[in-house]
Chains A and B, each alone.
Chain A
């Protein structure tokens, strides 16, 4: 399904746009070079030779020499916090943050208050998205009623109401039997099942990765095997039921191994990693700063981070997902053990990964672009592309532009960015999502052809 067919967005005018002499990179479509990117009626009309495209009347003309145009990004793991926690985020602010980060589509998690467990919940959210979303949003419903892990939701009706898939994210599905039943039901209703993998009895009271740092600071640890044993369990169940699963926010090397092993035997399994797990380790937790460094799964060891990077390279991990998790200061300005888990990530994902992984040469720019849009396919959504004729989902970036995170505030309602205060290289100037201009940097002005 195309982005617009699968997801909901506030209707607006179709983009009419020329990105003049942009450096275009769409590694999956094999597009790389200098082009005039012509967007007409919300679609990529052509990739013309630099300076060759004629500007139709009224089209915005961007002098994009030295700027990069990529397929816009897709984030399959965002917390929009509505219903129930609108003081942290809502559809409007969360999708604005997504647009500012270069995302043309996101999937919102269902661990709201109450959780998204009924067809009516899904319908209400989709209506909100059509009224207020800057970029297309899909909504997963919970796998179990109220996320209690006991009874399945009405998965068929939820899919008919438009749920893009299912997830109890925030909590694991404790019971292997409930998990198995959900996978069986998937044959009836479709929809990928996204899994927060954690064995609760192993995690216990843990608030950070178990290792030398937790030993030193006296915080209870969450061992890596808490995650990897559940990944292995669910991969085995998916194999047995010939079903499909998506593993969320991989954090441990053992989990990457478990996903790779499952893929090797043909299990339909996909996996994501977050920017913070790709850039940080548990060493950051020595600061005992929960605002930037407390999340679940926790930041792990350097060897885990390296395993995630290797997984991105070899395709074990097909996508980067931010797990954007907004919280208000009063939920974070408390001692580490008491603080809420999660950090925001939509507005900084591209810039921080470009700064931390691409500039030092750890991964190539092409791999980053591929993985930042890799989250659509696992949910049956077409990958954003710059191939002429496709719906316009384009992000325009200035790779040389440096900016300090938080200096000009955030589009998100919350400020718990793990990048707060960092100076990053690479800035999103403009995002076109589902054929509409969803975002442009305030200081970035456009010429209009007349």
Chain B
């Protein structure tokens, strides 16, 4: 794996390898010293052109837990504010010889373009409405822990699919792992032709009981003014995933941040079947695994620090004998 740009680039085996690696980092996370020396002396750049809490913080913490040097650049307050082009910014940052650039950008294809401009490994942390592959991987990881396998599982993705990069990456990832995906929402928010990604389309929650997993998407309030929905009140009445609609055996997920009382009811978020907190925890270990696979994985020829030769299956924590 040279870059992580799209789930479409990954085979089922590659996805599983990343998730297996994440399991081993989960074990590290339970230790007192939660740090491994894998990326010592290497630099990770975190370049965020959009606001983000969980993605940026978890990638940055992941890099630190792997002992990388981290450079964090936010568009606001940087040379981007002064009109510097993406290409020039990337060229500038590449002068520091980073091992990886993690980029979040408001437009589709940005990460892919960056990969053409830098020798560093590029991680797509969300590009416009295109993809958010690390989110999809952490979602698969979370589900795999609960369900063991996604094979044959029925997953409903409910809400604003049109504007959601999470939906696109998750349709690809869930189907690749053998799940049957249905997207559900009003016709105004389901992109024409989405079924060619291999999912079914529903415009009502009537059949929701068949789902093993209900994945609710964030509903942005400005969609109302753009005539995508007549009102948030009506949207919530028609498409809100609430405890009334959820069967206790169904699992509930959401990429965050949640609009309580819009796409999900408050009590459903706090119910035991909600995996939302587990998703956040998974974000850290899966992003550690992504950086590890890109920068220290077996296929990569770049030498890793000598004490890490051989890329151990279970990374050695600092302060413990190898």
Which of A208-216, A344-352, A370-378, A394-402 lies on the face that meets chain B?
A208-216
The 8 A CB mask of A208-228 against B (1 = contact, 0 = none) is 001111111111110100000
Asked if B196 and A215 sit within 8 Å, CB to CB, the answer is yes
Asked if B196 and A216 sit within 8 Å, CB to CB, the answer is yes
Given the known A-B contacts A288-B108, A336-B109, are A219 and B130 also in contact in the complex, defined by CB atoms under 8 Å? yes
A449 on interface, CB distance cutoff 8 Å: no
Given the known A-B contacts A335-B108, A335-B113, are A214 and B191 also in contact in the complex, defined by CB atoms under 8 Å? yes
User: Residues of B contacting A288 with CB < 8 Å?
Assistant: 108-109, 112-113, 130
- Nearest CB on A from B6, distance (A): 9
CB nearest to A204 among chain B residues? B226
Asked if A212 and B86 sit within 8 Å, CB to CB, the answer is no
Asked if B108 and A333 sit within 8 Å, CB to CB, the answer is no
Asked if B129 and A335 sit within 8 Å, CB to CB, the answer is no
User: Residues of B contacting A218 with CB < 8 Å?
Assistant: 108, 128-131, 165, 168
Interface size on B (CB < 8 Å)?
Answer: 24
User: Residues of A contacting B194 with CB < 8 Å?
Assistant: 212, 215-216
Using CB atoms and an 8 Å cutoff, list the residues of chain B in contact with chain A: 85-87, 105, 107-110, 112-113, 127-131, 165, 168, 191-197
Report the separation of the CA atoms of residues A220 and B107 in the bound assembly, to the nearest whole angstrom: 11
Report the separation of the CA atoms of residues A10 and B130 in the bound assembly, to the nearest whole angstrom: 49
User: Residues of A contacting B131 with CB < 8 Å?
Assistant: 218
Report the separation of the CA atoms of residues A36 and B226 in the bound assembly, to the nearest whole angstrom: 65
Asked if B107 and A211 sit within 8 Å, CB to CB, the answer is no
* Residues of A in contact with B, size category: 20 to 34
| A10-49 residues at the B interface, CB under 8 angstroms | none
Report the separation of the CA atoms of residues A164 and B243 in the bound assembly, to the nearest whole angstrom: 68
| A270-298 residues at the B interface, CB under 8 angstroms | 288, 290
Given the known A-B contacts A214-B191, A218-B130, A218-B131, are A335 and B107 also in contact in the complex, defined by CB atoms under 8 Å? yes
User: Residues of B contacting A217 with CB < 8 Å?
Assistant: 108-109, 130
CB nearest to A336 among chain B residues? B109
User: Residues of B contacting A290 with CB < 8 Å?
Assistant: 109
Of B107, B127, B192, B195, which one neighbours A221 at CB under 8 angstroms? B192
Asked if B128 and A215 sit within 8 Å, CB to CB, the answer is no
User: Residues of A contacting B129 with CB < 8 Å?
Assistant: 218-220
User: Residues of B contacting A220 with CB < 8 Å?
Assistant: 129
Output the residue of A210, A220, A336 with the most chain B CB within 10 A: A336
Of A212, A223, A333, which one neighbours B87 at CB under 8 angstroms? A333
Report the separation of the CA atoms of residues A353 and B127 in the bound assembly, to the nearest whole angstrom: 35
Asked if B128 and A337 sit within 8 Å, CB to CB, the answer is yes
A362 on interface, CB distance cutoff 8 Å: no
Output the residue of A211, A288, A337 with the most chain B CB within 10 A: A288
Asked if B193 and A211 sit within 8 Å, CB to CB, the answer is yes
- Nearest CB on B from A205, distance (A): 10
